[in-house]
Structure 1
Amino acid sequence: MSLRQQLKGTGVALITPFTDTLTVDFEALGRVIDSVIAGGVEYVVTLGTTGETPTLSKKEKLDIVQYTFDKVADRVPVVVGIGGNNTQELIEELKSFPLDKAVAVLSAAPYYSKPSQEGIFQHYKALAEASPKPILLYNVPGRTGRNMSAETTIRLAKEVKNIGGIKEASGDMMQCMQILKEVPEDFLVVSGDDGLAMSQIACGMDGVISVIGNTFPGQFSELVRLSLKNDFVAARAINNSLLTAYDLLFAENNPAGVKAFMTQQGSIGNHLRLPVTPVSDGLYQKIASYLKTI
């Protein structure tokens, strides 16, 4: 079964809850996993950047992956995030992480190094050759500092075995449409931008890997399902109701925004590891006021 068949719909990039002493709060993580599954999302992504992975130790990452598999208990597919800018180190992680129960590995394009398009291609080719699971490319130039061009994505999709799809978060609709036009039929293409997901599904994307799904899993996954059925009248109504939430979630930082929402909802504590800090008092009050209106 292709990733396009397994991962159609809404995936959630899970946050990592922390205690007030900044250890991983596994009890809260379990509540989040149960909540998003009960809300109807199609799959979860653990160790994405929304999970504050740059601040996690390797042991914490391993513990989170294993806990996620155990808690999910095969209710939905699990994707594991393994990304960075040290290709050889990532190859070692692909060999050492417990990936037997994962359906795919989501790997963000190298950050900070700003490699050429050829460098990006060779990086992903090396990961794909080492990975025991299909690789999902992740283009997020706002975080990495380098856009992975449509041409590079198409080349990887056509030339490199074991690359099964992409989370495309460039926000460039023309680039998205070019990718959708040229990639193989069974290549998964999902949005990485919650606010653009409905429009991108209209262009042919297969769904989204979402941040807002942590806090509004029912509404957002239903929006995605309606969009995939081409029922854009009903989908647009839900999307319009979430427009303010999209702005508030990403006004200062991700995951500071979504953690503020979830703190207000009572599911986690508002704790983040440096260099990320909680949202400002002003934004926190706007989030609280918004939640009272829905």
Structure 2
Amino acid sequence: MDELNGAGVALITPFNADGTIDFGSLEKLIDHQIKGGMDYLVSLGTTGETATLSETERKSVWEFTARHAAGRIPLVAGIGGNNTAEIVHQLAAFDTTGYAAILSVSPYYNKPTQEGIYQHYKALSVATPLPLIIYNIPGRTGSNISPETTVRLARDFDNIVATKDASGSFDQFSRIMRDKPAEFLLISGDDPMTLPMMALGAVGIISVVANAFPREIAELARLCRIGDYESARVIHNKLIRITELCFVEGNPAGIKNILTQLGICGGTVRLPLVEVSDATRMAIADELQLLR
């Protein structure tokens, strides 16, 4: 899975003011990523507000993204949830044209045991026609995928090829790196963790901040891959404040406001999310002025 090395971006889903999908802005965003040197795109990860999209809307976004990317860059599709049978159904029905892998978030709200998580991904591994990336983000799902479960899945199923980990636990990252099969990949799922995780052996990042700053995130990942951590730290430090502002009022409201101020798309989000406050908007404007 060389396609998963380096910098990927969890694309936002742009909306018009009336809440419909803004395909014109999505086209502009995809081009922004490709011109910025990103290594791959993730269509409809959790940053894409996928939980608020209908089945028809999800299909239209995946198809549009594949059609517009037109083979210029590898694509990953986000297909996950807390109803295993429904996700199996979605995977079986998914049109894989243009896509290299599936990213699937760990079941949320249900708070399954480690055995339940294992059985969930086992079912998905059988159903998916593409390689599968585990997504562990305990702050959103309410449960953590332990290193033991991650490694067990990696060893038992050849098509489970990577984990995107946003647990924030360096003990967990270290244990995964120590015990995993050689070909299994660790990917950062948290922008501020990218540099130290890559120093431990992660192969890259699936980034939110890259929606706005693809060139910087792609270069940071490239520098880490060649072991130039001193140069990578310059970019890491440069992006600390804008990354904080990106998440201070939730994702993707923050990154959408940044993209609005950069003229790439509007800031509309779907309820129950709301746009950022005036205070955050002004703080973002001040930081963007410093970054220019």
Q: Same fold (TM over 0.5)?
A: yes
- Alpha-carbon shift at residue 101 of structure 1 (Å): 2.1
Structure 2 letter corresponding to 1:67: F
Structure 2 letter corresponding to 1:127: L
Equivalent in 157, 168, 174 of residue 160 of structure 1: 157
- Alpha-carbon shift at residue 78 of structure 1 (Å): 0.2
Alignment check: 8 A CA contact 2:154 2:180 kept: yes
Q: CA deviation digits over 1:74-108, x for unaligned, max 9?
A: 11100000000000000110011211321110000
Partner of 1:55: 52
Partner of 1:21: 18
Structure 2 letter corresponding to 1:31: K
Alignment check: 8 A CA contact 2:70 2:98 kept: no
Structure 1 letter corresponding to 2:272: P
Is 1:137 the counterpart of 2:134? The answer is yes
- Alpha-carbon shift at residue 188 of structure 1 (Å): 1.5
Partner of 1:11: 8
User: Superposition pairs for residues 187-266 of structure 1, below 5 Å?
Assistant: 187-266=184-263
- Say which SS state the counterpart of residue 224 (structure 2) adopts: helix
Q: CA deviation digits over 1:40-75, x for unaligned, max 9?
A: 000000010100001000000000000000011111
Partner of 2:171: 174
Superposition TM-score, scaled by structure 1 size: 0.98
User: Superposition pairs for residues 24-103 of structure 1, below 5 Å?
Assistant: 24-103=21-100
* Number of residue pairs the alignment of both structures matches: 291
1:228 and 1:257 map into 2 onto residues whose CA distance is 28
Q: CA deviation digits over 1:239-267, x for unaligned, max 9?
A: 11111011111111000010010011011
Aligned-residue sequence identity (percent) comes to 47
RMSD: 0.7
Alignment check: 8 A CA contact 2:66 2:97 kept: no
Q: CA deviation digits over 1:107-158, x for unaligned, max 9?
A: 0000000000000000000000011001100000010000000000000000
Superposition TM-score, scaled by structure 2 size: 0.99
Equivalent in 262, 268, 285 of residue 271 of structure 1: 268
1:42 and 1:270 map into 2 onto residues whose CA distance is 25
Is 1:288 the counterpart of 2:281? The answer is no
Q: CA deviation digits over 1:172-221, x for unaligned, max 9?
A: 01101110111111112100010010010000000000001100000111
1:288 and 1:113 map into 2 onto residues whose CA distance is 39
1:26 and 1:182 map into 2 onto residues whose CA distance is 43
Structure 1 runs of 4+ with >2 Å offset: none
1:230 and 1:247 map into 2 onto residues whose CA distance is 26
1:19 and 1:273 map into 2 onto residues whose CA distance is 10
Structure 1 letter corresponding to 2:24: E
- Alpha-carbon shift at residue 162 of structure 1 (Å): 1.5
Structure 2 letter corresponding to 1:98: D
Structure 1 letter corresponding to 2:109: Y
Structure 1 letter corresponding to 2:50: T
2:173 and 2:71 map into 1 onto residues whose CA distance is 32
2:130 and 2:25 map into 1 onto residues whose CA distance is 28
1:178 and 1:115 map into 2 onto residues whose CA distance is 22
